[in-house]
């Protein structure tokens, strides 16, 4: 997978050098063009994990940005209005993530989202404790973490 990513970067650099336009849009276009070119060239080879993971990583980035903007707007609304709409609480989330990398990435994504904070992981690494400013239903909150961040992280890392 590392070789394909490196090949993708090198082809992107060649594209940018040949076109002579050193703009962000041209880098993105060159990366996408080289990605699809590599995919066409390596069709039928057994190890195509890179071509499955990259779209998931890009989708995860957009999902995280969406969640980040949504949470920022919710917290900003709470700060700017005189009403107290928060219902804070600590929730115990059962983990499907097993490795240190999976758990750390999940905890960091939760903490980076305004209004939520990862507090602790149980000693047996089966439970993550999360504080949130807005908990209307514990089951809905757990479901949003499990089917949101955790599901996408595990799709990328496994």
Question: Which residues contact residue 49 at a Cβ distance below 8 angstroms, ignoring those fewer than 6 apart?
Answer: 1
Q: How many CB atoms lie within 10 A of CB 82?
A: 4
Say what the pLDDT of residue 45 is.
65
Q: Tokens for 105?
A: 């990435």
Say what the pLDDT of residue 46 is.
59
Chain centroid offset of residue 85 CA: 28
pLDDT band at 2 (very low <50, low <70, confident <90, very high): low
Strands (E), the chain: 89-94, 116-121, 127-132
The residue-averaged pLDDT of 112-126 equals 95
Question: How does pLDDT run across 19-65, given as a tens digit for each residue?
Answer: 999 999 999 999 999 998 988 887 766 567 788 888 899 999 999 99
Say what the pLDDT of residue 1 is.
56
Say what the pLDDT of residue 47 is.
64
Q: Are 134 and 87 in contact (CB under 8 A)?
A: yes
User: Does pTM surpass 0.85?
Assistant: no
Question: How does pLDDT run across 8-17, given as a tens digit for each residue?
Answer: 999 999 999 9
Question: How does pLDDT run across 71-118, given as a tens digit for each residue?
Answer: 999 999 988 998 888 899 999 999 999 999 999 999 999 999 999 999
């Amino acid at each position: 997978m590392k070789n394909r990513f490196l090949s993708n970067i090198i082809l992107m650099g060649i594209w940018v050098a040949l076109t002579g336009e050193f703009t962000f849009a041209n880098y993105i276009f060159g990366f996408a063009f080289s990605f699809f070119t590599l995919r066409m060239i390596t069709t039928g080879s057994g190890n195509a994990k890179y071509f499955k993971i990259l779209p998931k990583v890009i989708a995860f980035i957009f999902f995280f940005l969406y969640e980040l903007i949504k949470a920022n707007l919710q917290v900003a609304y709470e700060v700017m209005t005189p009403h107290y709409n928060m219902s804070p609480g600590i929730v115990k989330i059962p983990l499907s993530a097993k490795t240190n990398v999976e758990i750390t990435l999940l905890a960091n994504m939760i903490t980076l989202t305004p209004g939520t904070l990862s507090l602790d992981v149980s000693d047996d690494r089966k439970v993550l404790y999360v504080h949130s400013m807005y908990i209307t239903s514990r089951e809905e909150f757990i479901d949003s973490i499990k089917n949101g961040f955790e599901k996408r992280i595990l799709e990328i890392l496994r």
